[in-house]
Amino acid sequence: GKTRALDPMLKKRDDFEDILEERRNSSDLKYALRCYTPVLYKGVTPCTSSMLKSMVLQSDQLHYVINQVSKETGKATDDIKEEASAILEEMAQCLQLSTVRFFAFTLSKAFKTLFRSICVNEDGIQRLQQAIQEHPVVLLPSHRSYMDFLLMSYILYTYDVALPVIAAGMDFMGMKFVGEMLRMSGAFFIRRSFGGDKLYWALFSEYVKTMLKNGFAPVEFFLEGTRSRTSKSLTPKLGLLNIVMDPFLKGEVFDVNVVPVSISYERVLEETLYARELLGIPKPKESTSGLFKARKILSEDYGSIHVYFGQPVSVRSLAQGKVNRCQFNLVPRHIPRRPSEDIASFVNDSAYRLVRAQEENMVLKPWVLVASLLLQYHHQNQAAGQKRGIALGELTAQAVWLRDLSRQYGAFLHWPDHIPPSEVVSSSLTLHRGLVRICEDKVQLAVEQGFSVAPEEELLSQAVILLSCASYRNQALHVFVRPALLALAIHTASSNQKQEVFNSFSFLRNMFSNEFILCPGATVQDFEEACYLLVKTGALQFTQQEVLVTERGHRTLAFLSTMLDPFLQGYQVVCRFLCEEATETLTEKQFIPAVRKFIKKLLLAGRLRYMEVLSSDLQKNSLAALLRLGAVRKMKGTPE
């Protein structure tokens, strides 16, 4: 209604349409064989993969690097060209419509079995169509599951949009048959790290830029670089973003449009896999047979998926006033060089803004709120030594309270308002019945006690459940993290002086900037946003110098600061480990197993409240933060 326009925090978002509805009512074969004629950039004619390869091999940039490598290694330039050609063969995609059609058919079958609906914002698709015709386009989907890029191509095929070429990690190549199939549906393969391999880097960046500059196809990659195992956004990786911005920065194209895409799963296919991986329970290698073994998955219900295509972001407008492009006039374009300070920080800031844009359009399901409440309730109960659950009615009332709060904070919440809240809560409990137990109208997390297994095994099986739940709570973190940091700051500040609270906020925000997406240099903005939200919802009042918590504010602040407690305890326990246990220097490889052993001991002795601190993601982030803050230092390639 009217409040929307007045309140800057509440964004107007597009409506969704379920693309599976039509698939359920008409032939999949007809759909797979239908006429597919996407419009390309400025009407270019599609280019064959061999043409693309020869364009790359003949580019000035590559010649320059080949000569350079030849001088450094003493190899003949012809031999290096051979090598380059072989690397391109290994890397390049060769999109074939027949493979795409095969995928369209098989995925339709699989999706209808697995999901209730796949909802897409059509307005976003129309904006994308428009952008593709006007500028080179880069698609940046969030990355929570292997499904992501299959899903993206499936949706674009459905809407007759040009299919993207997708940067995929080499680990898929190991899956012989599947790797080739993916290559034919537009994937190109890159090594996870190419260190100082100049030739590889030059080929890779030239390949991507040639595709982009000529508008042969939209380029798609994952800003986070890898699947998030915890359902919260990862710190963006900058390599590919640098490459796709380069043609604009060097004035080779007028503009590049970047489209953030938010993919939200009501239930992630890899849910228990991720939890086990974070706990260090070894995972099977990616293999084709593994995919077929995953067929038992097909009998499960994974709820719905929401895919939101965000507003295209113009790199040109992002760079306005931030980057002086004259610096590129002084050196020939084909000579590779390290980005200057201002370019590097521009790319980094842009990456954070793009991940924030992904986060803001992530759809939250009621279960995300319910899981957050159940986790907090579980830990409070455990601390009090009680084992009983929470009454369904009370859980519903709390969920409604949290629903209203998150809406006021601008969350993109999909809560069906035409259904009684108790039914909404019950149906989310049913969908996630593997994680909860309902007994005599009392709900609790399914951490069974009393099996006669070794304490450590019991600990791990409980941790799998808790980490799975935490990954749902994590989906809501981007909504709450700023107010929660403020709540924690008020809790820990030595007085309620505004300046004290700000200092405390600033310290916490800095400490957690490897953990949450917090834009570099935006401390004051984040503080003001948090104050605004807590004042607007009546939890805080400000006098000239002081911050006062209102009567009704206690509940909100307690909920918010409790949300960050596991992270706080995780960082504390890593510090404690480094002080008490890590007497000699550790290599990075040894760090996680050693800290894991230390934490297990404390948990089994009942000395720690949160099993979540067993998450290797949390441990890695806290080590990274300690390195960044100079509390730990790296020695000759190994951290101390």
- pLDDT confidence bin for 6, thresholds 50/70/90: very low
- In 10 A of CB 148, how many CB atoms? 21
- In 10 A of CB 82, how many CB atoms? 12
- In 10 A of CB 499, how many CB atoms? 11
Question: Does the pTM exceed 0.75?
Answer: yes
**The pLDDT of residue 594 is above 80:** yes
- Which residue is associated with the tokens 């629903």? 403
Rounded to an integer, what distance in angstroms lies between the CA atom of residue 245 and that of residue 251? 10
pLDDT of residue 5: 41
Residues 285, 459, 293: CA angle, nearest 5 degrees: 30
- In 10 A of CB 328, how many CB atoms? 18
Query: What percentage of the chain exceeds 70 in pLDDT?
Result: 93
Give the residue-averaged pLDDT of 521-530.
Answer: 96
Give the residue-averaged pLDDT of 616-629.
Answer: 95
pLDDT in tens, 45-96: 777 778 888 999 999 999 999 999 999 999 999 999 999 999 998 888 888 8
Give the residue-averaged pLDDT of 368-379.
Answer: 96
> Mapping DSSP to helix (H, G, I), strand (E, B) and coil, where does residue 385 land?
coil
**The pLDDT of residue 571 is above 70:** yes
- pLDDT confidence bin for 539, thresholds 50/70/90: very high
| Highest-pLDDT range among 276-285, 307-316, 625-634 | 307-316
Buried b (16+ CB within 10 A) or exposed e, 347-369: bbbbbbbbbbbbbbbbbbbbbbb
Instruction: Find the radius of gyration of the CA atoms of the chain.
Output: 26
Q: DSSP secondary structure string, 224-235?
A: TSS--SSSSPPP
Give the residue-averaged pLDDT of 608-619.
Answer: 95
Sign of CA dihedral 575, 581, 583, 584: negative
Residue 396 · residue 425 · CB < 8 Å: yes
Q: Residue 150 carries which side chain, given as an amino acid letter? A: L
Secondary element (H or E) of residue 437: strand 436-439
pLDDT of residue 99: 87
pLDDT of residue 604: 93
**The pLDDT of residue 295 is above 70:** no
Q: Phi and psi (nearest 5°) for 157?
A: -60, -45
pLDDT in tens, 401-410: 999 999 999 9
Q: Phi and psi (nearest 5°) for 219?
A: -100, 135
Q: Residue 353 carries which side chain, given as an amino acid letter? A: R
| DSSP-assigned letter for residue 343 | H
Give the residue-averaged pLDDT of 346-358.
Answer: 96
Query: 118 vs 455, which has greater pLDDT?
Result: 118
Nearest to 137 by CA among 243, 212, 207, 205: 212
pLDDT of residue 439: 87
pLDDT of residue 186: 84
- Which residue is associated with the tokens 């004259």? 326
Mention every residue, 6+ apart, whose C-beta is less than 8 A from residue 226: 143, 169, 234
- pLDDT confidence bin for 637, thresholds 50/70/90: low
Query: What percentage of the chain exceeds 90 in pLDDT?
Result: 69
- pLDDT confidence bin for 283, thresholds 50/70/90: low
The residue count for the chain: 640
Give the residue-averaged pLDDT of 487-492.
Answer: 96
**The pLDDT of residue 636 is above 80:** no
Residue 185 · residue 99 · CB < 8 Å: yes
Residue 127 · residue 312 · CB < 8 Å: yes
**The pLDDT of residue 377 is above 90:** yes
pLDDT of residue 188: 83
Rounded to an integer, what distance in angstroms lies between the CA atom of residue 22 and that of residue 535? 46
23 to 97, 98, 528, 533: CA distances (angstroms): 20, 19, 47, 42
- pLDDT confidence bin for 171, thresholds 50/70/90: low
**The pLDDT of residue 518 is above 80:** yes
587 to 15, 154, 599, 600: CA distances (angstroms): 50, 43, 18, 20
- pLDDT confidence bin for 386, thresholds 50/70/90: confident
Nearest to 46 by CA among 104, 105, 116, 95: 95
- pLDDT confidence bin for 4, thresholds 50/70/90: very low
- Mean pLDDT, the chain, whole residue set: 90
| 260 alpha carbon, distance to own chain's centre | 11
**The pLDDT of residue 634 is above 90:** no
Q: Residue 540 carries which side chain, given as an amino acid letter? A: L
Q: Residue 440 carries which side chain, given as an amino acid letter? A: E
- pLDDT confidence bin for 1, thresholds 50/70/90: very low
Rounded to an integer, what distance in angstroms lies between the CA atom of residue 436 and that of residue 442? 10
User: Diameter of the chain by CA atoms?
Assistant: 78
Both tokens assigned to 107: 């995925």
pLDDT in tens, 122-133: 999 999 999 999
pLDDT of residue 290: 57
Give the residue-averaged pLDDT of 317-330.
Answer: 87
pLDDT of residue 632: 85
Both tokens assigned to 215: 């508008």
**The pLDDT of residue 173 is above 80:** no
pLDDT of residue 638: 54
| 188 alpha carbon, distance to own chain's centre | 21
pLDDT in tens, 12-39: 899 999 999 999 999 999 999 999 989 8
- pLDDT confidence bin for 238, thresholds 50/70/90: very high
Buried b (16+ CB within 10 A) or exposed e, 316-326: eebbeeebeee
Pick from 22-26, 267-271, 424-428, 599-603: least confident: 267-271
pLDDT of residue 191: 79
User: Parallel, antiparallel, or unpaired for β 257-265 and 137-141?
Assistant: parallel
Residue 153 · residue 103 · CB < 8 Å: yes
Query: 605 vs 297, which has greater pLDDT?
Result: 605
Q: DSSP secondary structure string, 240-302?
A: HHHHHHHHHHTTSSS--EEEEEEEEESS-TTHHHHHHHHTT---PPP-HHHHHHGGGGGGS--
- pLDDT confidence bin for 286, thresholds 50/70/90: low
Q: DSSP secondary structure string, 498-554?
A: HHHHHHHHHHHHHHGGGTS---TT-HHHHHHHHHHHHHHTTSEEE-SSBEEE-TTHH
pLDDT in tens, 542-553: 998 999 999 999
Q: Phi and psi (nearest 5°) for 400?
A: -65, -40
| 220 alpha carbon, distance to own chain's centre | 15
pLDDT of residue 368: 98
| DSSP-assigned letter for residue 7 | -
Q: DSSP secondary structure string, 558-569?
A: HHHHHHHHHHHH
Secondary element (H or E) of residue 91: helix 77-91
